[in-house]
Amino acid sequence: MAAISRDEVAHLARLSRLAVTEQELDTFAGQLDVILQSVARVGEVAAEDIPPTSHSVPLVNVLREDEPQPCLTPAEALSGAPDPFEDRFRVPRILEEEE
Amino acid sequence: VSDLIKSSAAELGSLIASGQASAVEVAQAHLDQIAAVDGRVHAFLHVDSEGALAAARAVDERIAAGEKLGPLAGVPISVKDVLATKGIPTTAGSKILEGWRPPYDATLVERLRDGGLVMLGKTNMDEFAMGSSTEYSAYGPTLNPWDLTRIPGGSGGGSAASLAAYEAPLAIGTDTGGSIRQPGAVTGTVGAKPTYGGTSRYGLIAFSSSLDTPGPCARTVEDAALLHAVIAGHDPRDSTSIDAPVPDVVSAARLGATGDLTGVKVGLVREFSGEGAESGVMGAFRDTVEALTKLGAEMVEISCPHFGYALPAYYLIAPSECSSNLARFDGVRFGLRVGDDGNRALEEVMSLTREAGFGPEVKRRIIIGTYALSSGYYDAYYGQAQKVRTLITRDFTSAFEQVDVLVSPTTPFVAFELGSRTSDPYQMYLADLFTIPTNLYGGPAISVPCGLSSGLPVGFQVMAPTLGDDRMYRVAAAVESVMGGLAAPTL
């Protein structure tokens, strides 16, 4: 049985904000199925009572001194922006247009 | 080929310090070699000749003024294109960042400059460091100087190839699942992954934040240690940076080079005793183990029962972190924006931008990560992989109660032919079989050349406990003292 269907891949691509093509979906569905079936082997390990590790260095609440530091100027911060406008990042509209 | 480009970084540093060669002369010799061979190797995405010569001139002036500089002052270096370099193009091998010039330097880049190193340019890599061959670079693959029909490893194939092709004596790589060590192995060079948190990630374009570790690449173990000493150490700008003294890796490398390993206990991982590796690779590995025994090392077989699950755990954890990290490429603050015609909404522009800007492997990993983190599958995939990570860490901890280091081949196979693994992504993942456990644990590991198989280099991996970076340099230098001196590739 397939671990993941073509429809599921299409749904995940939408969630991931990837406008994948039909042809990519055909290719990815098979490839991702092979990958998922292989990585699903982690389920063979009896790990019920084992705590998870998110990170190899156990650190909590690393804080720096609250001292002013030099930072980027607006021009520097905007230097790589695709559409800068009056010291701001201009973005496409976010809300639907009113009917 | 000039003697300068064949010299080690240590030799170049002393030639420059003593005035026998100028930093400008050394930089120019390497720029000439790049001009002569990089059309065939394609190790570089960007060569900064002007910047390199200006930096070299500054070093020469400081030396002339009597300043005492570090051991690598004036030595050229190539830098993987995943580290931010102020004003110099930084792409991470992706179209989504084509033409981006960062407004700041990564901490590592600052440390190189403080050490007087001369940056020659930025090296090619698999897109966002995802891959084992550089074939996933959006700018075309790098070719292996040993055989131009074969891959140089990945993701840091450009950095490793620049060393093997004598375009640079030193390079910076980053290692998330083996991206420093596997390219080192297949190009006959040295690549070290320091302890996680031992080198700063500030300014490193993130792939998998709990695993990403920048480190040194070189042609000799001593050179790698000298570079390690320049780049390592606490950085308050990276909250996962370890605030502890850097182990004395340079002395350890020099001690190992004497060829005496009396009293050193070396663990052979039973689970890596040959399954999935080419016979030529295993042969070179076993010859090296035998040689280390003659140097006085005591060999102990160690079982690490969960290492067999490291690859599947990694290919859940790393894509999960990548799917989150790469959300920043949304066409708003930097990089590409596609389809913004004034009518389309943000979400659609974002989807078109990411579709156009990311290559197939990056898309696959984003989708896998999104899947592994989704509510119905989290426990079975990402959650379970994190538990397996704990068990792998325990395997390491218990192993290092019995031995000083663990050894294995670096990668199961020598450099493979271009195109031979791209149609089946899981076959590509297998290149990382032996390197991944260390990344999940967080300890240091190094690959050092240990011979040839069918005329192609084989790497020997030494793994050490967290903050035991010095131990791996000692054993690696001992390996080099008996197995080193590979013939140079001819280009």
Per-residue pLDDT tens over the stretch B317-349: 999 999 999 999 999 999 999 999 999 999 999
Interface test with A, best of B387, B390, B397, B426 (most A CBs within 10 A): B387
Burial degree of A66 (CB within 10 A; 0-12, 13-18, 19+): exposed
Interface check B380 vs A, CB under 8 A: yes
Read off the pTM.
0.97
Contact, B256 vs B221, CB < 8 A? yes
Q: Catalytic site residue B80?
A: yes
Nearest 5°: CA angle at B94, between B92 and B99? 85
Pairing relation of β-strands B265-269 and B298-302?
Answer: parallel
Burial degree of B356 (CB within 10 A; 0-12, 13-18, 19+): middle
List, in order, residues 6 or more apart from B315 with CB less than 8 Å away: A35, A38, A39, B368, B429
Instruction: Kindly determine whether residue B315 and residue A53, on different chains, have CB atoms separated by under 8 Å.
Output: no
Residue-level pLDDT at A62? 85
What are the counts of helices (DSSP H) followed by strands (DSSP E) for chain B?
17, 11
What are the counts of helices (DSSP H) followed by strands (DSSP E) for chain A?
3, 2
ipTM: 0.94
Q: Which residues of A touch B240 (CB under 8 A)?
A: 55, 57, 59, 62
> Can you name the residues that pair with B53 across neighbouring β-strands?
none
Contact, B131 vs B154, CB < 8 A? yes
Q: What is the 3-state secondary structure (H, E, C) of B349-396?
A: HHHHHHHHHCCHHHHHHHHHHHHHHCCCCCHHHHHHHHHHHHHHHHHH
d(CA B218, CA B159): 9
Count CB neighbours of A75 within 10 A. 10
Interface check A68 vs B, CB under 8 A: no
**pLDDT tens-digit profile, chain B (491 residues):** 579 999 999 999 999 999 999 999 999 999 999 999 999 999 999 999 999 999 999 999 999 999 999 999 999 999 999 999 999 999 999 999 999 999 999 999 999 999 999 999 999 999 999 999 999 999 999 999 999 999 999 999 999 999 999 999 999 999 999 999 999 999 999 999 999 999 999 999 999 999 999 999 999 999 999 999 999 999 999 999 999 999 999 999 999 999 999 999 999 999 998 677 999 999 999 999 999 999 999 999 999 999 999 999 999 999 999 999 999 999 999 999 999 999 999 999 999 999 999 999 999 999 999 999 998 999 999 999 999 999 999 999 999 999 999 999 999 999 999 999 998 898 899 999 999 999 999 999 999 999 999 999 999 999 999 999 999 999 999 999 999 878 788 88
| Residue B361 amino acid letter | E
> Can you name the residues that pair with B214 across neighbouring β-strands?
B174
Pairing relation of β-strands B170-175 and B76-80?
Answer: parallel
d(CA B159, CA B77): 9
Over 90: is that where the pLDDT of A60 sits?
A: no
Instruction: Kindly determine whether residue B389 and residue A52, on different chains, have CB atoms separated by under 8 Å.
Output: yes
Burial degree of B104 (CB within 10 A; 0-12, 13-18, 19+): middle
d(CA B253, CA B478): 8
Helices B221-231 and B469-483 sit at what angle, rounded to 10 degrees? 160
Instruction: Kindly determine whether residue B355 and residue A34, on different chains, have CB atoms separated by under 8 Å.
Output: no
Residue-level pLDDT at B486? 80
Q: Which residue has the tokens 């077989």?
A: B301
Closest by Cβ to B355, choosing from A19, A43, A79 = A19
Nearest 5°: CA angle at B45, between B40 and B46? 115
pLDDT digits 0-9 by tens, A16-59:
999 999 999 999 999 999 999 999 999 999 999 999 999 988 77
Contact, B392 vs B310, CB < 8 A? yes
Closest by Cβ to B368, choosing from A35, A47, A59 = A35
pLDDT digits 0-9 by tens, A64-95:
889 998 999 999 999 999 999 999 999 999 88
Interface check B100 vs A, CB under 8 A: yes
Over 70: is that where the pLDDT of A99 sits?
A: no
Phi/psi at B196 (5° precision): -55, 130
SS3 content of chain A, % helix, strand, coil (to 5): 35, 5, 60
Q: Catalytic site residue B155?
A: yes
> Can you name the residues that pair with B88 across neighbouring β-strands?
B85
Residue-level pLDDT at B459? 98
d(CA B192, CA B463): 10
Please tell me the distance in Å from B115's CA to the nearest CA on chain A: 23
Interface check B323 vs A, CB under 8 A: yes
Give the residue from B179, B173, B91 showing the smallest Cα distance to B132. Answer: B179
Contact, B177 vs B211, CB < 8 A? yes
d(CA A55, CA B314): 13
In this structure, what is the dihedral angle of CA atoms B399, B403, B405, B410, given to the nearest 10 degrees? -60
- Size of the A and B interface in Cβ pairs below 8 Å: 180
Give me the catalytic one of B7, B80, B408, B481. Answer: B80
Residue-level pLDDT at A94? 87
